[in-house]
Every structure is written in C-alpha cells, then in structure tokens.
Chains A and B, each alone.
Chain A
Amino acid sequence: MTLTQWMPFIVLMPLILSGVSALLPGKTAPWLLAFATATASTILAALVWLGLGPEPMRYAFGNWAPPMGIEYRVDHANALVALIVSGIASLALLWGKRSADQEIPERQGIFYALFLLALAGLLGITLTGDAFNVFVFLEISSLSTYALVAYGQDRRGLLAAFRYLIMGTIGATFILIGIGFLYMMTGTLNMADLAERIPAVADTNAVRAGFAFIIVGLGLKLALLPLHLWLPNAYAFAPNVITVFLAGTATKVALYVMLRFIYTIFGGDYSFGALPLADIMMVLAVAGMVVGSWVAMFEPNLKRMMAYSSVAQVGYLVLGVALVSIIGLTATFVHLFNHALMKAGLFMALGTVMYRTGSARIEAFYGVGRQMPWTMTAFALLGLSLIGVPATAGFVSKWYLIWGALDAGQVWLVVLILITSLMAVVYIWRVIEAAWFQAPRDQQSPVAEAPKALLIPLWLMVALNIYFGLDTRLSLGAAEQAAQVLLGGF
C-alpha cells in the first residue's frame, strides 16, 4: 500500500477502534488501546505531512471518483492541523491515565470509546475534501464531546454539557444551512468543485447568505466572542484529560475549517470583498483578546480562568486572519501550533494539582508551590510561554502577530497585543502568588508531589514549549507552508 492509501487510516483507526474500546473491561486495556490508536494516528499524520509533495494527496472513498464520491484531500495546511490534533490527543492520553482513573471510577471503556470518536471526528473534519462530510464529522466530534464533558463526577459538568449541546447544535445547523445554500446554487459538495463553480454564481444573495451562515456557525464552534459562552463552563467542569484534549484541538479545527471555507472554497478576494469580513473579524478578535484576558484576571476558578484565556487566544488566532496577509496567516498557524502546546500543558499542570487537592479554586492552590514544586515550576514555565517571554513558543507567535500588525500599518494593534500580554502576566502571577506566597490552608496535612506518571508528560510539554521557542524551523516552516497553500488555493 502506498502512503496515499494509508492516509485515510488517520481517521479510520480511531473511528473503528472506538467500537472495540467500548467493549473492553477494566481500566488499563481501554486506555492502552486509546493511547496506541492516537499514537498510531500521530505517526501516520507525521508521515503524511513529511511525504506531501506540491500537489495535494487525494484519496477517493470506495473508488467513487470525486465529485460524486467523498474524497480526502490533504495538503500542507490540513496535514499540519491533523498532526497537531492527533499529537495533542496522544499527549493528553499519556498524561491522563492517572487523572482519569481518579475522576472516572467506572465504565472507562465507554469513556475512551467516546474520546476516540471525538478524535476521529476532529481528524475527519480536518482531512476531508467534502463540505457535507465536514458537517457529519463535526457532529460526530461534537456529540461525543458533549458526553465527555458530562462524564466527570462534578454535577455542574452536566449543565455545561447541556448548554454546550444547545449552542453547538445551533452552530452545526447554521453550517448545514450554509452548505445547503451552496449546494442549491452549485449542485456540488466537493470542496474543489465548489471552488470552481462559486465564481459563476458568486454575486447572488443565496451564496452570500450561505457564506454568512457558515461563518457564524463556525464562529460558534470556534468560540469567537460573542459566541464563546459555552466554552468556559465546558472546559472548567469537564474531566481534566478532556479539558487538556479540547483546549488543544477543538477550537483549532474550527478555525482551520473557517480558513478552508474563506480561502479555498470562496477565495480570499470574495470572502473579504463580499462582506466586511476583515473588519468584523478584527473587531471581534480584539474584543475577545481584551474581554477574555480581563475576565481571566478576576476568575476564582483556575480552570475557568484558563478557559477565558483560551477565548483571548482565539482572539489572537482570528486577528492573524483579519490582517489578510501572508504574515498574518503564518502567525495564525504558528499560534495554532504553539497555543495547542501551551494550553494543553497548562491544563495538565492544573489537573496535576487537582489530582492531589481535588479543587480548581484559587484557595486550593495556596502553598502548593512548596508542596508540589515540580508541578508548579512546570506551570510557571508554561505560563511564561503563554505570556510570550522570549525562548518560549509563545514568544514566536506574538512576534509574528506583532510583525503582521506592523506590516499592515496598525500600530494600535501592537499596543493591544502588548497590553493583553501584560494582562496574561497578571492572571498567571495570581496563581504563582497563591502557590508560593500564601500559607497552605491546611497546615496539618500537606499535599504530596504528584506521581511521576503525571509529572513526566507535563515536563514533556514544558520541554516542547521551550524547544519550539528556540528552534522555530519546524513550527515556522510548517506554518509558512500552510499559509502559502491556503492563499494559493487547491
């Protein structure tokens, strides 16, 4: 079999094996299966990414030639996203065994089956070249995510999941309406085919309405302010391993699909010409950056704090798109990569403390710095990456964003990026201050350092954050390629 024939297995492996995982008893076997599957997908995604030529890699399912059949179409943009998604899933699982054992005492087979389904959905959205297939995989990942968010023992997770379900379904239905309009106007669902046929009917209200529906629907999935309301509670009350996984993947995939629609299907000129999309995105991105960081500074629940920080980071991602330049788009992809690393790492650090203290409230972190020095040092280093201190991955993203803003002649954006970074300093510092400068709440029973099974993956994340801060050839090169591919069309 050639690499092209292996490529669909990135999605098929987690999709098929999720059924097997549901049948496995006990705690170790399902975890092992899930971890092995995610790792295999990661390796395959890496091989595909390395093996890509200038032409996209295409695979037609069931040998039905596109545009009739469904095809997977992989270029440098979605290969990179697939690599990020599967990589973060493997890292989350590597870290999550102990944490899941504590938070999910029973029926772990089904838990990991849902995890694999969510992973398969996200990877499917990324790799497919068919607009309707995007909707189907979006719902596969969303439905399993709703169940996963509700899987913990905290009853608030149920409410968070229900509200996420309502908003997520509205978003997905908007996308379906949009795809319906496009299908009515062009008679095709294949992305490359759509891109060919849309220019002929571009100047109609149906296509414009379809475009608007798709952008709003994806904006909901992306948690772009003001459509972010589902995100903080869903992240805060989900089991920790799920939070780590979602924080690194779900919003990233939504952003990738949005870029695919904007650049490949509609074409950049149409997308930014038919609607004042760049202006809208700029305003929402800036609002997201400021509001997200502002709320994070005062949030007493640290998982919610990090979730609001994610809203701010989505703002950075969208800001890169709104600059409408190759540098801005490169910044978006670099940040996509780096933010997945740092936010997954930060949630791992919070989860590691929660493994011992059982609470994400800031009071539970009092004095933890001396009791769990390895965990909190990792948190501090990852926090520096989030702030954007040189020699960390976060610095590279901020550097590119600022460069993009200067290139576009928008000096006020540079000021805003710096101000929101300072706000990040404030909310990271709150945790450091609580962990090292406050006396522990309970002097009698100090918490012990976390087990090595949690610490080693956590420090792996720290190492990755620092590595990609120092050696940017891999992340930047990949991001530049991805941006060029998107701007160049299929």
Chain B
Amino acid sequence: MTVILSYFNYWVVVLLMMIGFYGVIAHGNMDKKLMSLGLFQTSVFIMFISAGKVIGGATPILRDGVALHSNPLPHVLILTAIVVGVATTAVGLALAVRIQEAYGTIEDDLIGDPSHEPEEP
C-alpha cells in the first residue's frame, strides 16, 4: 500500500503513458491518434514536474524566511516540452486536415498503404 501511495504520481504517469501509447497504436482515426499522442506526452510532463517537488519546499521565489525551495528547473524544461507538444499537435492536425481534403477520410484503415496506391498520371 505504501508503495502505491508514496509513488502515486509515478503510478499515474505509467497509467497515462500506457493509455496514450495503446491509443496511438490501436486507434485508426488520425484525430484519436493525435489525442492519444498528446496524452502520452503529457504523462512525461507530469513525471518531470513530480521530480521537481521537494517535500516541504516552498514555491521557488526568493523571499525572507524561506530556506527550502522546490526545484524550478523541471518546470522550465517542461514549459519547453509543452511548446514542443503543442507544435506537434498543430502540425499533426494540419496534416490530418490535408489528408481529409486529399483522401476524403482520416481513417487509417480506409486509406491503406500509400505505397500500393496506383501511380497518378
């Protein structure tokens, strides 16, 4: 029980990561794939931020009477990673829109392997 409770954040991370990863593999719909990918990435953000928490530590702002601070660096790193995640989702969604225009669907199963597509004239 203590193993579960004391590492609660990390269990959540593992759970979210696996849900996301499974979704990326299992879903045929490209929007759902992107959502799952977002979940997968977000779980890693939580992992970083959990690592930055110092038990009993205050917010990392310098002021009188506070000696113990949480580590702010993971937050900064994850801000960057969130930007990357947003950009990835944006590019992915833009591609999904273009695929919808070109193929009329964003279901992976209905499109099939592009290499078997007959050559366009």
Q: Which residues of A line the B interface, CB within 8 A?
A: 132, 135-136, 139, 143, 146-147, 150, 154-156, 158-162, 165-166, 169-170, 172-173, 176-177, 180, 183-184, 189, 232-233, 236-237, 301, 304, 359, 361
State the Cβ distance, A431 to closest chain B Cβ, in Å.
Answer: 17
Given contacts A139-B84, A183-B51, contact A170 B92 (CB under 8 A): no
A156 to B40 alpha-carbon distance, docked (Å): 27
Q: Are B98 and A236 in contact (CB under 8 A)?
A: no
Q: Are B41 and A165 in contact (CB under 8 A)?
A: no
Q: Are A143 and B87 in contact (CB under 8 A)?
A: yes
Contact residues in B for A176 (Cβ distance below 8 Å): 44, 81
Q: Are B119 and A173 in contact (CB under 8 A)?
A: no
Contact residues in B for A184 (Cβ distance below 8 Å): 51
Contact residues in B for A159 (Cβ distance below 8 Å): 99, 103, 111, 114
Q: Are A162 and B95 in contact (CB under 8 A)?
A: yes
Residue total for B at the interface (Cβ-Cβ under 8 A): 32
Between A and B, how many residue pairs show CB distances below 8 Å? 81
A154 to B114 alpha-carbon distance, docked (Å): 10
Contact residues in A for B26 (Cβ distance below 8 Å): none
State the Cβ distance, B89 to closest chain A Cβ, in Å.
Answer: 9
Contact residues in B for A154 (Cβ distance below 8 Å): 120
CB-defined A-B contacts under 8 Å, sample of 24 = A132-B77, A136-B84, A143-B84, A143-B88, A143-B91, A146-B95, A150-B98, A154-B120, A156-B114, A156-B115, A158-B95, A159-B111, A159-B114, A162-B99, A165-B91, A165-B95, A166-B37, A166-B92, A169-B41, A173-B44, A183-B48, A183-B51, A304-B115, A359-B119
B residues 33-49 touching A (CB-CB < 8 Å): 33, 37, 40-41, 44, 47-48
B residues 77-121 touching A (CB-CB < 8 Å): 77, 80-81, 84, 87-88, 91-92, 95-96, 98-99, 102-103, 111, 114-115, 117, 119-120
Within 8 Å by CB of B115, from A135, A173, A232, lies: A232
Within 8 Å by CB of B88, from A132, A139, A158, lies: A139
State the Cβ distance, A1 to closest chain B Cβ, in Å.
Answer: 29
Contact residues in A for B30 (Cβ distance below 8 Å): 162
Contact residues in A for B21 (Cβ distance below 8 Å): 170
Q: Are B114 and A237 in contact (CB under 8 A)?
A: yes
Contact residues in B for A233 (Cβ distance below 8 Å): 114-115
State the Cβ distance, B28 to closest chain A Cβ, in Å.
Answer: 12
Q: Which residues of B line the A interface, CB within 8 A?
A: 21, 24, 30, 33, 37, 40-41, 44, 47-48, 51, 74, 77, 80-81, 84, 87-88, 91-92, 95-96, 98-99, 102-103, 111, 114-115, 117, 119-120
State the Cβ distance, B71 to closest chain A Cβ, in Å.
Answer: 8
State the Cβ distance, A173 to closest chain B Cβ, in Å.
Answer: 5
Contact residues in B for A147 (Cβ distance below 8 Å): 91
State the Cβ distance, A366 to closest chain B Cβ, in Å.
Answer: 14
Q: Are B40 and A173 in contact (CB under 8 A)?
A: yes
A236 to B119 alpha-carbon distance, docked (Å): 13
Contact residues in A for B95 (Cβ distance below 8 Å): 146, 150, 158, 161-162, 165
Contact residues in B for A143 (Cβ distance below 8 Å): 84, 87-88, 91
Contact residues in B for A169 (Cβ distance below 8 Å): 37, 41, 88
State the Cβ distance, B18 to closest chain A Cβ, in Å.
Answer: 13
Q: Smallest CB-CB separation from A165: which chain B residue? A: B92
Q: Are A361 and B119 in contact (CB under 8 A)?
A: yes
A150 to B93 alpha-carbon distance, docked (Å): 13
Q: Are A146 and B81 in contact (CB under 8 A)?
A: no
Contacts A143-B88, A189-B77 known; list 12 others, CB within 8 Å. Answer: A135-B81, A135-B84, A139-B88, A146-B91, A147-B91, A150-B98, A158-B98, A162-B92, A165-B88, A169-B88, A177-B47, A236-B115
Contact residues in B for A232 (Cβ distance below 8 Å): 115
State the Cβ distance, B40 to closest chain A Cβ, in Å.
Answer: 6
Contact residues in A for B115 (Cβ distance below 8 Å): 156, 232-233, 236, 301, 304
Contact residues in B for A180 (Cβ distance below 8 Å): 44, 47-48, 51
A154 to B115 alpha-carbon distance, docked (Å): 12
Q: Are A160 and B114 in contact (CB under 8 A)?
A: yes
Q: Smallest CB-CB separation from B33: which chain A residue? A: A166
Given contacts A139-B88, A155-B103, A180-B48, contact A170 B40 (CB under 8 A): yes
A402 to B48 alpha-carbon distance, docked (Å): 44
A176 to B82 alpha-carbon distance, docked (Å): 12
Max count, chain A CB within 10 A of own CB: residue among B88, B96, B117 = B88
A392 to B120 alpha-carbon distance, docked (Å): 37
3 shortest A-B CB distances, which residue pairs?
A156-B114, A155-B102, A139-B84
Q: Are B41 and A173 in contact (CB under 8 A)?
A: yes
Given contacts A146-B91, A169-B88, contact A177 B44 (CB under 8 A): yes
Max count, chain B CB within 10 A of own CB: residue among A146, A172, A176 = A176
Contact residues in B for A158 (Cβ distance below 8 Å): 95, 98-99, 102
Q: Smallest CB-CB separation from B100: which chain A residue? A: A158
Contact residues in B for A301 (Cβ distance below 8 Å): 115
A139 to B47 alpha-carbon distance, docked (Å): 19
A155 to B102 alpha-carbon distance, docked (Å): 6
State the Cβ distance, B30 to closest chain A Cβ, in Å.
Answer: 6
